[in-house]
Amino acid sequence: MSREEVASPERRAAAVAEALVEQGAVPDASLDSLAAVEERLDWRNGARVVAKAWTDPDYKARLLSDGTAACAELGFEGPQGEYIVVVEDTPDCKNLIVCTQCSCTAWPVLGLPPDWYKSPAYRARVVREPRRVLREMGLDLAPRVAVKVWDTTAETRFVVLPLRPEGSEGWSEDQLAAIVTRESMIGVARVTLPA
Ligand code: FE
Protein backbone atom coordinates (compact mmCIF):
# COMPACT_ATOMS: atom_id res chain seq x y z
CA MET A 1 0.00 0.00 0.00
CA SER A 2 1.18 3.50 -0.79
CA ARG A 3 2.35 5.66 2.09
CA GLU A 4 1.78 8.87 0.16
CA GLU A 5 0.05 11.77 1.84
CA VAL A 6 -3.70 11.51 1.21
CA ALA A 7 -5.64 14.61 0.14
CA SER A 8 -8.26 16.06 2.48
CA PRO A 9 -11.78 14.53 2.40
CA GLU A 10 -13.07 17.78 0.87
CA ARG A 11 -10.58 17.62 -1.99
CA ARG A 12 -11.20 13.95 -2.58
CA ALA A 13 -14.99 14.50 -2.58
CA ALA A 14 -14.63 17.36 -5.06
CA ALA A 15 -12.47 15.20 -7.34
CA VAL A 16 -15.01 12.36 -7.25
CA ALA A 17 -17.88 14.75 -7.94
CA GLU A 18 -16.04 16.24 -10.90
CA ALA A 19 -15.29 12.82 -12.37
CA LEU A 20 -18.91 11.68 -11.97
CA VAL A 21 -20.27 14.75 -13.74
CA GLU A 22 -17.65 14.52 -16.50
CA GLN A 23 -18.60 10.94 -17.23
CA GLY A 24 -22.28 11.78 -17.15
CA ALA A 25 -22.81 9.34 -14.30
CA VAL A 26 -24.81 11.86 -12.29
CA PRO A 27 -26.54 15.11 -13.20
CA ASP A 28 -25.11 18.30 -11.71
CA ALA A 29 -28.24 18.93 -9.68
CA SER A 30 -27.82 15.90 -7.44
CA LEU A 31 -24.35 17.12 -6.49
CA ASP A 32 -25.80 20.42 -5.33
CA SER A 33 -27.62 18.46 -2.69
CA LEU A 34 -24.31 16.95 -1.59
CA ALA A 35 -23.01 20.47 -1.05
CA ALA A 36 -26.12 21.20 1.02
CA VAL A 37 -25.42 18.13 3.12
CA GLU A 38 -21.93 19.38 3.86
CA GLU A 39 -23.33 22.72 4.98
CA ARG A 40 -25.50 20.94 7.52
CA LEU A 41 -22.46 19.32 9.13
CA ASP A 42 -21.89 21.91 11.81
CA TRP A 43 -20.51 21.54 15.33
CA ARG A 44 -23.09 24.09 16.47
CA ASN A 45 -25.59 21.24 16.14
CA GLY A 46 -23.61 19.45 18.82
CA ALA A 47 -23.74 22.57 20.99
CA ARG A 48 -27.55 22.36 20.83
CA VAL A 49 -27.42 18.71 21.86
CA VAL A 50 -25.21 19.53 24.86
CA ALA A 51 -27.40 22.46 25.93
CA LYS A 52 -30.50 20.27 25.81
CA ALA A 53 -28.77 17.53 27.81
CA TRP A 54 -27.80 20.10 30.45
CA THR A 55 -31.37 21.32 30.85
CA ASP A 56 -33.41 18.15 30.30
CA PRO A 57 -32.42 15.14 32.45
CA ASP A 58 -34.62 12.73 30.46
CA TYR A 59 -32.98 13.82 27.21
CA LYS A 60 -29.55 13.45 28.79
CA ALA A 61 -30.36 9.88 29.80
CA ARG A 62 -31.47 9.09 26.25
CA LEU A 63 -28.36 10.76 24.84
CA LEU A 64 -26.04 8.68 27.00
CA SER A 65 -27.84 5.44 26.24
CA ASP A 66 -28.28 5.96 22.48
CA GLY A 67 -26.42 8.96 21.09
CA THR A 68 -27.45 8.37 17.49
CA ALA A 69 -31.17 8.31 18.29
CA ALA A 70 -31.00 11.28 20.67
CA CYS A 71 -29.15 13.44 18.13
CA ALA A 72 -31.64 12.41 15.46
CA GLU A 73 -34.46 13.61 17.76
CA LEU A 74 -33.12 17.13 17.18
CA GLY A 75 -32.77 16.50 13.44
CA PHE A 76 -29.02 15.87 13.49
CA GLU A 77 -28.38 12.70 11.56
CA GLY A 78 -26.86 11.48 8.34
CA PRO A 79 -23.50 10.37 6.98
CA GLN A 80 -20.89 9.59 9.66
CA GLY A 81 -23.53 10.03 12.33
CA GLU A 82 -24.79 6.47 12.43
CA TYR A 83 -22.85 5.37 15.49
CA ILE A 84 -22.70 8.29 17.88
CA VAL A 85 -21.53 7.41 21.39
CA VAL A 86 -21.68 10.19 23.97
CA VAL A 87 -19.29 10.09 26.94
CA GLU A 88 -19.92 12.30 29.96
CA ASP A 89 -17.30 14.37 31.73
CA THR A 90 -17.47 14.41 35.53
CA PRO A 91 -15.47 16.43 38.07
CA ASP A 92 -13.20 13.37 38.42
CA CYS A 93 -12.95 12.25 34.80
CA LYS A 94 -12.04 14.09 31.60
CA ASN A 95 -12.89 12.41 28.31
CA LEU A 96 -10.90 13.05 25.19
CA ILE A 97 -11.48 12.00 21.58
CA VAL A 98 -8.97 11.13 18.93
CA CYS A 99 -8.99 9.15 15.71
CA THR A 100 -5.60 7.49 15.69
CA GLN A 101 -6.22 5.97 12.25
CA CYS A 102 -7.30 9.07 10.36
CA SER A 103 -9.67 11.87 11.30
CA CYS A 104 -13.14 10.48 12.06
CA THR A 105 -15.67 12.68 13.82
CA ALA A 106 -19.44 12.46 14.23
CA TRP A 107 -20.18 14.78 11.29
CA PRO A 108 -23.81 15.74 12.02
CA VAL A 109 -22.91 17.09 15.49
CA LEU A 110 -19.16 17.80 15.37
CA GLY A 111 -18.86 18.83 11.75
CA LEU A 112 -15.80 18.07 9.67
CA PRO A 113 -12.67 17.74 11.81
CA PRO A 114 -10.45 20.77 12.50
CA ASP A 115 -6.88 20.69 11.17
CA TRP A 116 -5.22 20.13 14.55
CA TYR A 117 -7.43 17.07 15.13
CA LYS A 118 -6.18 15.59 11.85
CA SER A 119 -2.53 16.32 12.60
CA PRO A 120 -0.24 13.31 13.08
CA ALA A 121 1.19 15.02 16.18
CA TYR A 122 -2.15 15.19 17.99
CA ARG A 123 -3.16 11.68 16.95
CA ALA A 124 0.07 10.09 18.11
CA ARG A 125 0.79 12.12 21.22
CA VAL A 126 -2.63 12.36 22.80
CA VAL A 127 -2.62 8.62 23.42
CA ARG A 128 0.85 8.55 25.00
CA GLU A 129 0.80 11.79 26.95
CA PRO A 130 -2.75 13.17 27.09
CA ARG A 131 -2.17 15.44 30.10
CA ARG A 132 0.77 17.12 28.46
CA VAL A 133 -1.09 17.64 25.18
CA LEU A 134 -4.06 19.07 27.08
CA ARG A 135 -1.78 21.42 29.03
CA GLU A 136 -0.25 22.65 25.77
CA MET A 137 -3.76 23.29 24.47
CA GLY A 138 -4.55 25.35 27.55
CA LEU A 139 -6.28 22.81 29.77
CA ASP A 140 -4.43 22.09 32.99
CA LEU A 141 -5.99 19.13 34.82
CA ALA A 142 -5.54 18.44 38.51
CA PRO A 143 -3.68 15.15 39.13
CA ARG A 144 -6.79 13.65 40.76
CA VAL A 145 -8.76 14.01 37.51
CA ALA A 146 -8.56 10.83 35.43
CA VAL A 147 -8.19 11.14 31.66
CA LYS A 148 -9.94 8.72 29.33
CA VAL A 149 -8.88 8.75 25.69
CA TRP A 150 -11.45 7.39 23.25
CA ASP A 151 -10.27 6.24 19.84
CA THR A 152 -13.03 7.02 17.38
CA THR A 153 -13.50 4.61 14.49
CA ALA A 154 -15.86 4.25 11.56
CA GLU A 155 -18.28 2.47 13.88
CA THR A 156 -18.02 4.49 17.09
CA ARG A 157 -18.14 8.24 16.69
CA PHE A 158 -17.53 9.60 20.15
CA VAL A 159 -18.75 12.97 21.39
CA VAL A 160 -17.92 14.43 24.81
CA LEU A 161 -20.71 15.80 26.97
CA PRO A 162 -18.72 18.48 28.82
CA LEU A 163 -19.37 19.70 32.36
CA ARG A 164 -21.87 22.52 32.62
CA PRO A 165 -19.97 25.51 33.99
CA GLU A 166 -20.72 26.84 37.45
CA GLY A 167 -22.58 30.11 37.31
CA SER A 168 -24.80 29.07 34.40
CA GLU A 169 -27.70 28.05 36.62
CA GLY A 170 -31.01 29.26 35.24
CA TRP A 171 -29.62 29.92 31.75
CA SER A 172 -31.82 29.09 28.78
CA GLU A 173 -30.97 26.38 26.29
CA ASP A 174 -30.09 29.06 23.72
CA GLN A 175 -27.75 30.83 26.11
CA LEU A 176 -26.05 27.56 27.00
CA ALA A 177 -25.70 26.46 23.36
CA ALA A 178 -23.89 29.73 22.65
CA ILE A 179 -21.04 28.94 25.08
CA VAL A 180 -20.44 25.31 24.05
CA THR A 181 -17.42 24.97 21.77
CA ARG A 182 -16.32 22.32 19.32
CA GLU A 183 -13.15 21.85 21.37
CA SER A 184 -15.17 21.07 24.49
CA MET A 185 -17.06 18.34 22.62
CA ILE A 186 -13.80 16.81 21.41
CA GLY A 187 -12.61 17.06 25.00
CA VAL A 188 -9.60 19.35 24.78
CA ALA A 189 -11.26 22.29 26.52
CA ARG A 190 -13.76 23.07 29.25
CA VAL A 191 -16.87 25.11 28.70
CA THR A 192 -16.42 28.44 30.43
CA LEU A 193 -18.59 31.48 31.00
CA PRO A 194 -17.86 34.52 28.84
CA ALA A 195 -15.51 36.94 30.62
FE1 FE B 1 -10.70 8.41 11.28
Domain boundaries, the chain: 3-40, 43-186
Q: For 3-61, write each residue's pLDDT tens digit.
A: 566 777 667 776 776 676 666 666 665 666 666 666 678 999 999 999 999 999 999 99
pLDDT digits (tens, 9 = 90+) for 86-126: 999 999 999 999 999 988 999 999 998 999 999 999 999 99
d(C-alpha 78, C-alpha 93), whole Å = 30
71 is catalytic: no
**C-alpha distances out from residue 65 to 71, 89, 94, 175, Å:** 11, 15, 19, 25
Give phi and psi for 161, each to the nearest 5: -95, 105
Q: Rounded distance, CA 22 to CA 17, Å?
A: 9
99 given a catalytic annotation: yes
- Ligand 1 mean position, distance from CA 175 (Å): 32
> Residues 6 or more apart from 81 whose CB is under 8 A from it?
68, 71, 72, 106, 107, 108, 109, 157
Whole-number pLDDT of residue 15: 73
Weakest-pLDDT range from 2-6, 61-65, 186-190? 2-6
Cα-to-centroid distance, 107 and ligand 1 (Å): 11
Task: Compute the distance from residue 102 Cα to the ligand 1 centre, in Å.
Answer: 4
**pLDDT at position 1:** 43
The CATH code of the domain at 43-186 is: 3.90.330.10
User: Does the annotation count 93 as an active-site position?
Assistant: no
What is the 8-class DSSP label of residue 94? E
Centre of ligand 1 to C-alpha 99, Å, is 5
140 close to 87: Cβ distance less than 8 angstroms? no
- The catalytically annotated residue of 65, 102, 119, 172 is 102
Distance 173 CA to ligand 1 centre (A): 31
